Amino acid sequence: MKVDTIMNKDQELKMLTTQEIKEIEKAISIVPYKKAACVEALKVVQEHRSYVSDESLKEVASYMDMSAEELDSVATFYNLIFRKPVGRHIILLCDSISCWVMGYENIKEQLTHKLNIGYGETTADGRFTLLPNPCLGTCDCAPALMIGKDLYRNLKVEELDEILKKYE
């Protein structure tokens, strides 16, 4: 009975895709032992699946010869490994000092109002997830935010609609 249960659980585990394995193996090849590439492996899976679900975490852990708990202790340490579902586009709004001085709070207020979500939340249509982000390193052009790979600097409240429109 007990054996059956374990086997069923194993069968439930989805497998890493060939492409994911290829990318993870590349990361493993430059470090002396497998486990050292676990952050890279988490990044690979997140890149393909948008976030690291409990199931994904188990798959990666099993592949990296780690316990799920050990891998989760690493995954949850980092700000940009997402352990919960996220929207199609991630908005990282810089909340650090230069942006704060230059009017971050206004931008935040408008953005949360327009999207009708707070930090850590995703819009009902799954389009955006809004997250605060420490200093984006573009302080001479504050305030700033990133959507996906795109950086927006010298933000003005009036520009927000135009920017958001680009992302479906």
Kindly list the residues in this chain that would bind another protein in the complex (CB under 8 A).
Answer: 30-32, 35-40, 42-43, 73-74, 77-81, 92, 95-98, 100-102, 133-142, 146, 149, 151
**Residue 48 beta carbon to another protein: minimum distance, rounded to whole angstroms:** 15
- Tell me whether residue 9 or residue 22 sits nearer to another protein (CB atom): 22
> Is the CB of 36 or the CB of 124 nearer to another protein?
36
Q: Spell out a b/e string for 11-20, using b for 16 or more CB atoms within 10 Å of the CB, else e.
A: eeeeebeeeb
Shortest CB 5 distance to another protein, Å: 31
Q: Got the DSSP string for 8-70?
A: HHHHHSPPPPHHHHHHHHHHHHTSSSGGGGHHHHHHHHHHHHSS--HHHHHHHHHHTT--HHH
| Residue 1 CB, nearest approach to another protein (Å) | 37
Least distance CB 110 / another protein (angstroms): 16
d(CA 110, CA 149) in angstroms, rounded, equals 22
By beta-carbon proximity to another protein, the closer residue of 2 and 149 is 149
Q: Which is nearer to another protein, 7 or 36 (CB)?
A: 36
> 150, 151, 149: which is closest to 141 by C-alpha?
151
Element spanning 130, H or E:
strand 128-133
